[in-house]
């Protein structure tokens, strides 16, 4: 149990260092991942274990006060090149399928990036930060293409 606890807290610290949004499910997933290293050991990452873990380490669910960006900038030439490659691949694939199996969608609506308003972090933290690929208005708007 100690090894699982250390692994989960280390992952949480690393995630928060990079402002990655973390939830209870992530704690459970990390615990299950580490428990696989111990054959025959049964670990379920129950709600009670998560609750006790958070209490032992002073972890609470906090409202994110500031969103920051960690996206990589890609130049316009790379984007244009990927568009040309995609069109080329699709044009080669379409003849292999019956016309009834090819669907052309003229408009598709989507949210640019779905994110949570809360994350797990340490009790008493001054400013809780969450990272998104695009924290400005793209995180709160939907688009149609």
Highest-confidence segment of 47-51, 67-71, 91-95: 47-51
- Residue 139 in this model has a pLDDT that exceeds 80: no
For position 76, what pLDDT does the model report?
53
- Per-residue pLDDT averaged across 98-111, rounded? 72
Residues 6+ apart with CB under 8 A from 28: 45, 50
pTM more than 0.85: no
Q: What is the pLDDT of residues 2-45, one digit of tens each?
A: 999 999 999 999 988 877 889 999 999 999 999 999 988 999 99
Dihedral over alpha carbons 56, 59, 60, 66 (to 10 degrees): 170
Q: What is the pLDDT of residues 121-138, one digit of tens each?
A: 888 887 777 776 665 554
Query: Encoding tokens for residue 78?
Result: 């790379």
- Residue 108 in this model has a pLDDT that exceeds 70: no
Q: What angle do CA 42, 45, 46 make, to 5 degrees?
A: 110
For position 21, what pLDDT does the model report?
86
- Local confidence band at 105 (pLDDT 50, 70, 90 cut-offs): low
- Residue 112 in this model has a pLDDT that exceeds 80: no
For position 34, what pLDDT does the model report?
94
């Amino acid at each position: 149990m100690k090894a699982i606890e250390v692994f989960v807290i280390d992952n949480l610290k690393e995630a928060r260092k990079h402002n990655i949004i973390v939830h209870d499910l992530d704690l459970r997933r990390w615990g299950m991942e580490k428990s696989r290293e111990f054959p025959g050991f049964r670990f379920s990452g129950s709600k009670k274990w998560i609750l006790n873990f958070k209490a032992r380490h002073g972890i609470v669910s906090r409202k994110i006060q500031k969103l920051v960006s960690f996206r990589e900038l890609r130049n316009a030439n790379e984007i244009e090149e990927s568009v040309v490659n995609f069109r080329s691949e699709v044009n080669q694939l379409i003849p292999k399928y019956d016309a009834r199996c090819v669907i052309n969608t003229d408009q598709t609506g989507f949210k640019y990036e779905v994110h949570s308003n809360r994350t797990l972090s340490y009790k008493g933290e001054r400013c809780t930060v969450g990272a998104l690929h695009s924290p400005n208005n793209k995180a709160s708007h939907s688009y149609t293409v």
